[in-house]
Amino acid sequence: MTHHRRGVVIGASLAALSSLLVGASICPLPMTGASRASVPTMSGSEPAPPLVSDWTIAVVDHRENVVHDSLELDAAGRPHIGYAWAYPAKDLRYAWSDGSRWVSETVDSAGDLGRWASLRLDSTDRPHIAYQDIAHSDLRYARYDGSAWITTTVDSVDAVGWFASLALDTADHPHISYFDGSNWNLKYAYNNGSGWQIDIVDTLAFPGWYTSIAVDQDNQPHIAYHDRAQGSLKYARREGIGWHVEVVDASNHAGFFASLALDSAGRPHISYCTNYYPRALCDDLRYASYDGTAWLTTTVDSAGWTGGNTSLALDAQDRPHIAYCHYDYAIDWSYCDELRYAYLDGQSWQIETVDTMETSDHTISLELDAAGQPHISYSDLGAAELRYATVCTPVMGAAVYGPGALLVGQAGFYTAAPVPLTATLPVTFSWDNGAIGATTFYSWTVTGTHAVTVTAASGCGRGMGTRVVQVLPAWPDTFYLPMVVVPRR
């Protein structure tokens, strides 16, 4: 199932349209919309990142109790998702899209597996997933080696693996943050290629909730998490062989659903919610950023019970984008009734509803593509669906440019473009001569009327285009005119 939800309207510049013809990334005009929360203008910020007009929503997997999904995009912008099929199979699963269809498979099925699944792609776009073995309370790790999945137990001392979060460094080595539920510690596991090393990052007075890890350009880990005993959002970074730990926000049980991202300067940004327990799981969506000297915090959305399951991503200008839950407290304090998306346009927060659902009280995962467009995975427990949403202008057809007439044996050069030109990239072109790509050559050995046909496909649409070509006889190399003798009079 795929459907479109109307969001905002954009345009496209002539430069962006022409860039499509040469395979460049498109940058449509900024989104407009009402702001429900605002902050002062960010110094040096540029106009808002581009969005297109429709949210396209697809069903990735239709199974009961699909939870704890984690999304990442590969180099071509295609989505990959790791997730748990919590009941009845209790398996760790993996799904990816080739641009036209979703393919899913079981990664690990030896027990009650897959909770807190956290997926990352390495430099060759192969998936790695950290997750918990619920039956044994172990931290586990899976990676795809190009032909098969390899799974291993990382930590099995006491009850561990809660709220696992995975990052890969520049050498594709895994770094995992997680909680020890027996000893109430925040832990960190790292594999340098020769084996796993495990640190205790912070010793807590009560089991912590929610961890999120990122690795900087020097391959040093940074972790955001919630300290339940203090009721605060905390942040840890590794310094040499030790850890620096600090409180970011100590107000109103801050730090639920913490999600961490590092900007281009290696500075941390965190989305999270506050919780006036026991009234609701989350009250307000909040955002914290470190400016080099101090933490700056702000409320992004305070409309109702909101801010659960946050997932934060930064665009090329280091502006924050957040996907999160809004709760219907009248039904149940832990159930989502809306998937929301917020981004900072440099002056204010723009907020919109992406999808509505009956119940979804588990993870949401947001990623931005090379053009700054959002992609979100999430589960709808009421519909028993794992879903994927992205802002996408569908491909409706294809335009073919090239000569309309050729001689027999003459090669003609043809170029394809999507219809409309504002269709969201990437777009794949498949020609009826077997060629793949935006350009190709055609030639014919017989005269007559022929056709050049191409199919354009993206993650949210497909269409065809045709150009009729007249193939004419080849002219001879030399022309001989008959000699005409004019009689003399």
More confident residue, 229 or 277: 229
Q: Say yes or no to pLDDT of 295 above 90.
A: yes
Q: Residue 59: which of 380, 462, 461, 425 has the closest Cα? A: 380
Q: For the beta carbon of residue 27, count every other beta carbon within 10 angstroms.
A: 15
Closest CA to 58 of 115, 120, 4: 4
pLDDT, tens digit, 9 for 90 and up, residues 154-210: 999 999 999 999 999 999 999 999 999 999 999 999 999 899 999 999 999 888 889
Residue 86 pLDDT: 66
pLDDT of residue 486: 60
At residue 362, the pLDDT reads 65
What whole-number distance in Å separates Cα of residue 154 and Cα of residue 164? 11
Three-state DSSP state, 148: coil
* DSSP symbol at 42: P
Burial of 486 (0-12, 13-18, 19+ CB in 10 A): exposed
Location of structure tokens 């001392």:
157
CA–CA distance, 446 with 352 (Å, rounded to integer): 57
**What is the Cα–Cα distance from 485 to 313, expressed in whole angstroms?**
88
- Is residue 12 predicted with pLDDT exceeding 70? no
Instruction: Give me the chain's average pLDDT, please.
Output: 84
pLDDT score of 276: 67
Q: List, for residues 78-87, the tens digit of each pLDDT value.
A: 999 999 886 6
Q: What percent of the chain has pLDDT over 90?
A: 61
d(CA 392, CA 356): 18
pLDDT score, position 31: 29
HSE-CB at 446 with a 13 A cutoff on CA atoms is 4
Whether 84 and 117 have beta carbons less than 8 Å apart is answered as: yes
Tokens 């860039």 map to which residue? 19
Has residue 26 got a pLDDT over 50? no
pLDDT of residue 153 exceeding 80? yes
pLDDT of residue 206: 85
pLDDT tens profile 239-289: 888 999 999 999 888 999 999 999 999 999 999 999 865 555 788 999 999
| Cα distance between residue 211 and residue 272, in whole Å | 11
SS3 412: strand
Query: How much is the average pLDDT of 28-54?
Result: 35
- How much is the pLDDT for 280? 58
Q: Find the largest Cα–Cα distance for the chain.
A: 127
pLDDT digits (tens, 9 = 90+) for 445-469: 999 999 999 999 987 789 999 999 9
What pLDDT score does 50 carry? Answer: 40
Instruction: Give me the pLDDT at residue 299, please.
Output: 96
Structure tokens at 114: 């897959």
User: Cβ contacts of residue 135 below 8 Å, gap of 6+?
Assistant: 111, 112, 113
Q: Residues 124, 130, 133, CA angle at the centre, nearest 5°?
A: 145
Q: Which of 271, 268, 294 is nearest to 284 (CA)?
A: 271
Structure confidence at residue 23 as a pLDDT band (50, 70, 90): very low
Question: What residues have CB less than 8 Å from 190, skipping those under 6 apart?
Answer: 173, 174, 175, 176, 196, 197, 198, 199, 221
pLDDT at position 363 is: 80
pLDDT tens for residues 302-316? 988 889 899 999 999
Sheet architecture: strand order including 232-239? 209-215, 221-227, 232-239, 242-249
What are the structural domains of the chain? 2-13+28-391 (2.120.10.70), 397-472 (2.60.40.10)
What letter does residue 14 receive in the DSSP assignment?
H
More confident residue, 474 or 471: 471
pLDDT of res. 16: 33
d(CA 40, CA 111): 50
pLDDT recorded at residue 248: 98
What's the Cα-to-Cα distance from 283 to each of 230, 286, 311, 364, 381, rounded to whole Å?
A: 18, 10, 16, 17, 22
Q: What is the mean pLDDT of residues 358-364?
A: 67
3-state SS, residue 18: helix
In 3-state terms, the chain is what percent helix, strand and coil (to 5)? 0, 55, 45
Of 236, 256, 255, 238, the closest CA to residue 246 belongs to 236
Pairing type for strands 91-97 and 79-85 reads antiparallel
Nearest to 92 by CA among 109, 79, 67: 109
Residue with tokens 């101090």: 294
At 156 the pLDDT is 95
Residue among 70, 53, 74 at smallest CA distance from 426: 74
> What is the rounded average pLDDT of the residues 321-330?
84
User: How far apart are the C-alpha atoms of 54 and 125, rounded to whole Å?
Assistant: 28
Nearest to 372 by CA among 355, 388, 390, 389: 390
pLDDT digits (tens, 9 = 90+) for 57-91: 889 998 877 788 999 999 988 999 999 886 665 88
Separation between Cα atoms, residue 472 and residue 482, nearest integer Å? 25
Contacts of 112 (CB under 8 A, 6+ apart): 90, 133, 134, 135
Label residue 1 by pLDDT band (50, 70, 90). low
